[in-house]
Amino acid sequence: MAKTTAKAKKPTPQPASAVAADGFTESIVETAGRLAEILRDDPESIEADLLAQGQNLVGVYVDANFSGRNFSDLLPLKITTLKQAIDDIAGGVLVLRSSTLGVTFRTNKLMTFVSPLSSTPQGTVVYSIAWKDSAAFLRWREDASESELPQDQLNAAIYFLTHEWSKLLL
């Protein structure tokens, strides 16, 4: 009789998720979307300390010249960018550590971009999200050997971006 050995499969990385009230799993982005609606409807529920902590970690740039009816497709692109950033942060800040996410106006068209740090995307940046250099530097100073960010910082950054999302909801 020949012996067969089964190799253990490595687990496939799954998106950050939570179990919804109906028992189904939903992504962190869907949960953030629901929280954005709550924050929009009830501004009194905003946690100022958590918001401030997140603001120290994530930077959001908005060009005020790009707004209104002339740029109606900007709103969905901003929300898409926020969703990408929230998903990235939930996964450990893999993209934002080395890149900026955003929306650019190029050749009379708005489009999303991912641009490596210290480079400039083509066109005019009208909206962008970046992991702040000061947050990365402070984390490095605290413990250069540890590359993982504490969960409370990830939560604060997601909360801040969720608040930004709530301001875009009509």
What would the pLDDT profile of 115-157 be if each residue is shown by its tens digit? Answer: 998 888 999 999 999 998 765 555 545 554 455 788 999 999 9
Q: Please answer whether residues 89 and 120 qualify as being in contact, where contact means their C-beta atoms are separated by less than 8 angstroms.
A: no
Q: Is 96 helix (H, G, I), strand (E, B) or coil?
A: coil
pLDDT in tens, 56-113: 999 999 998 887 667 888 999 999 999 999 999 999 898 998 899 999 999 989 999 9
Where exactly are the structural domains of the chain?
A: 18-168
- State the Cα–Cα distance between residues 45 and 136, nearest whole angstrom: 29
- State the Cα–Cα distance between residues 96 and 117, nearest whole angstrom: 9
